[in-house]
């Protein structure tokens, strides 16, 4: 049981304010009916808000994201975006997976053009190309636009994935550990890029990460998710959102100075303490 008082940097936030752009209500998913992965998951994401979800492997983060993306169906509960209940995948939501998921036989330009043409089928070729070039430039890859994925580094491929997601101008961006496979240096650079782009575009983002510092750097709010667990009496308690933590640090954040920001360590300790002592606890 954690009894720590919320601090200025880690204030408990209401899980679901009324004006939310995305609303998740009572969501549950069971692959095995006896042992649902999670249940009763309710939270909201405001327009322009950046929400990270953090939790140990297997608690169901990707499953939640897949439901938000329309790639999986929940067993219980509902998801509403912009006042409408979600039904299946839509180009209103842009997804970036952990692996880059680019089509290997297409160039960067063609990969992104494919997405843009799907989103706006009646656009002219020049309009499509302008959109592609704009977002490729945004992630600093103009010089590689006519290369194939096999000619790019891991970091470059992830950038292409990000450019593709932004190029369809989604109402919501869904990111599943998009930097997980990258080395620390590349990861830092792309985090900075993402932060700048999101600030500029006011994009609404839901992102999974297992990196506490990444969450504190990028998020307005962090959802702490606990794993399902077998209780001492043998009953199964599904996983769920244990807490919603507001990141009250000033928005002008930088990786290099984040650890000097007042409130940073309290916030970090709070999240790490959750992962170490509470995420798996009865």
Comparing CB distances to ligand ADP, the nearer of 88 and 250 is 88
The reply on whether position 66 binds Mg ion by CB under 5 A is no
C-beta of 90: minimal distance to ligand ADP in Å?
Answer: 21
Q: Which of 52, 59, 86, 141 binds ligand ADP (CB under 6 A)?
A: 59
Chain positions 61 to 120 lying near ligand ADP, rule: CB under 6 A, are 61-63
Judged by CB under 6 A, the residue of 19, 57, 150, 256 near ligand ADP is 57
Residue 37 makes contact with ligand ADP by CB under 6 A: yes
Dist. CA 98–CA 20, nearest whole Å: 27
- Which residues in 220-244 are b (16+ Cβ under 10 Å) and which e? bbbbbbbbbeeeeeeeeebbbbbbb
What angle, 0 to 180 degrees and rounded to 10, lies between the N-to-C axes of helices 108-119 and 154-167? Answer: 20
> Residue 256 pairs with which residues in a beta bridge?
none
Contact 96, 178 (CB under 8 A): yes
CA distances from 18 to 46, 205, 227 (A): 9, 18, 27
62 binds Mg ion (CB under 5 A): yes
115, 177, 179, 204 from 93: Cα distances, Å? 12, 16, 19, 10
User: What is the Cα 105 distance to its own chain's centre?
Assistant: 27
- Residue 57: CB minimum distance to Mg ion, A: 7
* CB-based closest residue to Mg ion: 62
Among 26, 58, 89, 262, binds ligand ADP (CB under 6 A): 58
By CB under 6 A, residue 17 contacts ligand ADP:
no
Q: How far is the CB of 226 from ligand ADP (least distance, A)?
A: 11
Closest approach, Cβ 210 to Mg ion, in A, equals 9
Q: Which residues bind ligand ADP (CB under 6 A)?
A: 31, 37, 55, 57-63
Q: Which residues bind Mg ion (CB under 5 A)?
A: 61-62
């Amino acid at each position: 049981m954690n009894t720590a008082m919320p601090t200025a940097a880690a204030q408990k936030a209401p899980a679901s304010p009324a004006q939310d752009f995305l609303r998740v209500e009572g969501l549950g998913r069971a692959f095995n009916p006896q042992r649902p992965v999670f249940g009763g998951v309710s939270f909201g994401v405001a327009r322009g808000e950046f929400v990270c979800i953090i939790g140990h492997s297997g608690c169901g983060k990707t499953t939640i994201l897949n439901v938000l993306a329309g790639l999986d169906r929940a067993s219980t509960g509902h998801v509403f975006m912009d006042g409408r209940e979600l039904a299946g995948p839509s180009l209103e939501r842009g997804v970036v997976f952990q692996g880059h998921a680019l089509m290997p036989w297409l160039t960067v330009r063609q990969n992104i053009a494919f997405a843009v043409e799907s989103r706006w089928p009646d656009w002219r070729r020049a309009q499509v190309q302008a959109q592609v070039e704009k977002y490729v430039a945004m992630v600093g890859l103009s010089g590689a636009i006519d290369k194939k994925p096999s000619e790019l580094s891991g970091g470059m491929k992830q950038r292409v994935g990000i450019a593709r997601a932004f190029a369809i101008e989604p109402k919501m961006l869904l990111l599943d550990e998009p930097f997980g496979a990258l080395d620390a240096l590349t990861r830092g650079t792309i985090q900075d890029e993402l932060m700048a782009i999101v600030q500029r575009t006011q994009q609404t983002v839901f992102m999974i990460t297992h990196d506490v510092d990444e969450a504190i750097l990028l998020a307005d709010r962090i959802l702490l998710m606990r794993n399902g667990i077998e209780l001492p009496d043998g009953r199964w308690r599904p996983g769920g959102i244990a807490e919603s933590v507001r990141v009250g640090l000033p928005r002008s954040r930088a990786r290099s100075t984040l650890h000097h920001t007042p409130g940073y360590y309290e916030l970090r300790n709070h999240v790490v303490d959750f992962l170490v002592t509470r995420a798996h606890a009865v």
